[in-house]
């Protein structure tokens, strides 16, 4: 059972709210631009975190290192043009937004170089949690965005197999987490992304606050 550090959790909460909220808003915004008003009509383009927060998913992210928000409803029947390609762009929007936030965070770090340890810890958490969300959601396991991205690039004949997997997706993720396989997959990918971003932008000092 993971050890829960209350102070670490407190510093993680702002980062969690930013990452999960913008991730879901990005899905809804791209769907809206493609012609689907569902998310907009339900108020899911809001930057209010309470509109998007799934408390169990947020707790899992804090404690186990992976989690989820309340999924934004998307109806591809409204899409203008190719619906398959539309779902690909909608699915890419979430993890891509987390990646952009992570990059912007190290740029903010470089410009401000915070002297206050509390602020430095919060910025560090914003960076690492968005890296986690980006990498985790790119995994091709239903119902994660990666499975929908995969469905968007694979021939249509693979769609029934992906749809059938969706009913077992959460159970698969729990099993991968409990067996340590999820950590074995996420860990190296996260380290590569962390060191690539901090190295490219000369922000290695942020590593002390992750």
> Which residues, including other chains, have CB under 8 Å from residue 187's CB and lie 6 or more apart?
none
CB-based contact 141:173 (threshold 8 Å): yes
**Tokens coding 131:** 């890296």
Length, in residues, of the chain: 210
Quote the CA–CA distance of 8 and 28 in Å, as a whole number: 30
* Residues designated as active site: 24
The answer to whether residues 87 and 31 touch, using CB atoms and an 8 Å cutoff, is no
Task: Report how far residue 57's alpha carbon sits from residue 99's, in angstroms, rounded to the nearest whole number.
Answer: 20
Q: CA 150 to CA 162: how far, in whole Å? A: 9
- DSSP per-residue string spanning 158-172: GHHHHHHHHTTHHHH
Q: Count CA atoms closer than 13 A to 66's CA, side-chain side.
A: 22
């Amino acid at each position: 059972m993971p050890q829960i550090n209350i102070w670490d959790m407190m510093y993680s909460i702002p980062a969690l709210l930013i990452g999960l909220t913008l991730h879901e808003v990005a899905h809804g915004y791209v769907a809206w631009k493609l012609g689907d008003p569902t998310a907009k009509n339900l108020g899911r383009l809001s930057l209010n975190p309470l509109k998007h927060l799934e408390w169990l998913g947020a707790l899992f992210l804090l404690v186990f290192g992976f989690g989820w928000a309340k999924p934004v409803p998307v109806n591809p029947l409204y899409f203008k043009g190719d619906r398959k390609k539309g779902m690909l762009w909608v699915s890419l929007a979430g993890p891509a937004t987390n990646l952009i936030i992570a990059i912007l965070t190290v740029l903010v770090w470089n410009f401000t170089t915070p002297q206050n340890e509390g602020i430095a810890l919060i910025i560090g958490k914003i960076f690492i949690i968005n890296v986690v969300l980006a990498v985790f959601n790119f995994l091709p396991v239903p119902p994660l965005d990666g499975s929908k991205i995969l469905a968007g690039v694979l021939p249509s004949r693979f769609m029934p197999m992906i749809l059938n997997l969706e009913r077992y997706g959460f159970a698969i993720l729990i099993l991968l987490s409990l067996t340590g396989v999820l950590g074995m997959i996420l860990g190296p990918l996260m380290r590569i992304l962390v060191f690539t971003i901090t190295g490219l932008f000369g922000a290695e000092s942020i590593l002390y606050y992750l």
